Amino acid sequence: MNLVKMTSFIVLLCLIFTVAFAIETVRKGDQQKLDNLCKNGIDIPIAKGAIINNSTLNLMYPNEDTSFHIDLGC
């Protein structure tokens, strides 16, 4: 009976450490994504003929597929 309790305890500890490692890995991955967004900014693809409400030009109709870059600067 003592062997079963020790084995269960060891398995439980392994599960706890595995969950903690998974949480830490996800947290680091999210931080890397945020750093990449801050460094590279966001590119928004705009299709040909789309209607864009621009504050300076009111309406804009692109003649070709293009992308709009937003620099987050964080």
pLDDT tens for 25-47 read: 877 777 777 777 778 888 878 77
Same domain for 55 and 32: no
Number of domains in the chain: 2
Structure tokens at 19: 């969950």
d(C-alpha 42, C-alpha 64), whole Å = 20
Confidence of residue 56 (pLDDT cuts 50, 70, 90): low
The number of beta carbons lying within 10 Å of the beta carbon of residue 46 is: 15
The answer to whether residue 9 scores a pLDDT higher than 80 is yes
Same domain for 35 and 52: no
pTM score of the predicted model: 0.42
Same domain for 27 and 47: no
Same domain for 69 and 47: yes
